[in-house]
Structure 1
């Protein structure tokens, strides 16, 4: 039995509308309401594994955008830029090799989201900029070092953009932070603050990636300031050896001298001036310079006090150095900025 013409027309119209709706949802900017309005750090997906959640179905990516901050075409363009950066830069580490045995360069992966969920804010409804930056640092450090692990030897970085938190943060690995200091990273991000304030996130991220690639190709800065730019583990070790090595030698010499004085005066019963004459110096004038420390016990105490003061100043100076520079290259290295 044939259906009435109006019934056929109704179903045909419904079919056409369904196809149009499916096509519109399958292209352009994804529907952000399907994803979580805010994310917990340990639940944020990996673009190499959770491609569908990251709005990169059927394709491993360097970008995760579960809330649809960018359109699919914009994410595709940024993904190509990241891949080009990986292929065009030269990593200094021997382990910068892909699964096919091909040498590659530095890697930067992007984490885009509506808002970070945090329990560390004093006032969650209105957190301070410093709290937001600390949270972004924890996020990028966790993603780079524990969750994503894109790099083989610290040749990776994670760039986080949280729209409602109004923050962008870049965390750098050990290989990268030797080229891109924290100060340099902050300057790089600050160049796109106006675009971020205008919510032109695609252009802002594009500019950051382009400038980022140029900085990597330029190499490390010629002037390297320890206080401003952080220190590597090797530099910290070298500084410790240079500082405390001579101090240890000085301490041993002074201790041996004081033990000799003590033994001769209080154990063997010599007078203080006899002790000095027992010391066999090649040249007499060298002995004259130490006479005050031999003739007077107070001189020995003065020597001990001076050496103790030098050691104390060295320890305080080292603690101040690490307190002033809160980041260690490859561990907490990175920087971020907020906008209004």
Structure 2
């Protein structure tokens, strides 16, 4: 009995804390191993180390509540249900229920790297392999029309693996990744992943991606300040011109008032 309790406690710890680092072959599947991914139900989001904190809110009584289903999870389902199937052969498109592209998100605290994998290029290459292997293992597309956003927080790397049926320029992927890194550098992991998910949704729906506002102040505040500064500058300019005109007219009146005796 004691042996069973020790084994149960050990398994419970592994399920809820995860490993300190992962290989793409030891990483759990969020659809079939949701608990190992830190989820209460099958999901397209896997976070075995519970790095990405759930959003918190304050209710009317002033108590803090946790948002169980975030914008990101809703967007992942929305993209799958609202985008069109891209398969060249219509027979490969599932009709019940119909679905389009699938985006999954995989988060780790750190990848399991060799001792010689310390350069930035080797870490990026390891992230590419990690994401590609996970996407291949999960096989969530209909005709290789899925993608995986992979984030390793301690390695400070994010990589997006896309299937061959998805047409996205590398420059667009790079731009979206750089936008996500703006959040990741501030350890705003959920916000960064939500932003990347939203941007990829725009791309897959053939919409323009949004511009990321990096300033600490809201855009409308800076616009208001710019207008105020412009008004002040114009007022000063008008005042200077007015004073110059008055001074010029006074000098002329002084000249006219002089009388020769």
Give the TM-score band, short-chain normalised. 0.5 to 0.7
Taking the TM superposition and a 5 Å limit, the aligned residue runs for 1:224-303 are none
Deviation of the 1:183 alpha carbon: 1.9
The DSSP-based 3-state class of the residue aligned with 1:108 is strand
Which of 179, 182, 197 aligns to 1:194? It is 182
Structure scoring higher RCO (CA < 8 A, sep ≥ 6) equals: 1
> What is the rounded CA distance, in whole Å, between the counterparts of 1:192 and 1:92 in structure 2?
26
Is the Cα–Cα contact under 8 Å of residues 107 and 156 in structure 1 kept in the other structure? yes
> What is the rounded CA distance, in whole Å, between the counterparts of 1:108 and 1:207 in structure 2?
13
TM-score, normalised relative to structure 2: 0.64
Structure with bigger gyration radius:
1
**Number of equivalent positions:** 181
The DSSP-based 3-state class of the residue aligned with 1:158 is strand
Match of 1:63 in 2: 45
Deviation of the 1:71 alpha carbon: 2.7
Root-mean-square deviation (CA, aligned residues, Å) is 2.3
> What is the rounded CA distance, in whole Å, between the counterparts of 1:56 and 1:85 in structure 2?
20
1:175 aligns with 2:157: no
Of 30-39 and 81-90, the range deviating more from structure 2: 30-39
The DSSP-based 3-state class of the residue aligned with 1:133 is helix
- Give the unaligned 5+ runs of structure 2: 1-12, 56-66, 209-261
Deviation of the 1:34 alpha carbon: 2.1
> What is the rounded CA distance, in whole Å, between the counterparts of 1:219 and 1:195 in structure 2?
23
- Give the unaligned 5+ runs of structure 1: 1-29, 221-340
> What is the rounded CA distance, in whole Å, between the counterparts of 1:195 and 1:92 in structure 2?
31
Which of 69, 90, 94 aligns to 1:76? It is 69
Deviation of the 1:219 alpha carbon: 7.1
The DSSP-based 3-state class of the residue aligned with 1:138 is helix
> What is the rounded CA distance, in whole Å, between the counterparts of 1:63 and 1:195 in structure 2?
18
Cα 1:97–1:75 change in 2 (3 A) is farther
> What is the rounded CA distance, in whole Å, between the counterparts of 2:15 and 2:68 in structure 1?
15
1:139 aligns with 2:121: no
Match of 2:142 in 1: 152
The DSSP-based 3-state class of the residue aligned with 2:129 is helix
Q: Deviations for 1:243-272, whole angstroms, at most 9, x for unmatched residues? A: xxxxxxxxxxxxxxxxxxxxxxxxxxxxxx
TM-score, normalised relative to structure 1: 0.50
> What is the rounded CA distance, in whole Å, between the counterparts of 2:94 and 2:75 in structure 1?
19
